[in-house]
Structure 1
Amino acid sequence: MVRTFSSHISGVFGQLSPTFGHPKISFGHLTSIFGQIRGNFGQNSKIFGHLDFQNKSREPQIPKTLSTSIFIN
């Protein structure tokens, strides 16, 4: 009686283990998405640095407020 019950539990856990393995895949997917977002922010900061450099001769205040508002958001 106990043996059949324990084997039944192990069978249920065997069915559950694929679903436990599944969140790992989705977490890996999320980290890759965050990596892409981080890469995009890196590109944006380069672009803003470039704009900053161009606008320094004219009005240095505008790019600073732009960059700070972006980092706050």
Structure 2
Amino acid sequence: MKIFKNIAGIVVILLGGLWMLQGANIISGMAMSDNREWLVIGALLVIFGGALLYFNNRPTPIPPVH
């Protein structure tokens, strides 16, 4: 399950990056080009994908010894 979440996080980051580039009109010639809405949606996807990777790979706390 951890591998699936890592792959999903990477795919979401790449998709968000693509949408950001299209929204900023760096990649032109598509319906989403030069549309600031897709720039914002892409940025939110990049943040979500980064959070998914962070929470999936953070170290587990060591339980206290009694």
| TM-score between both structures, scaled by the size of structure 2 | 0.42
* More RCO (CA 8 Å, sep 6+): 2
| TM-score between both structures, scaled by the size of structure 1 | 0.39
Structure showing the higher helix proportion among its residues:
1
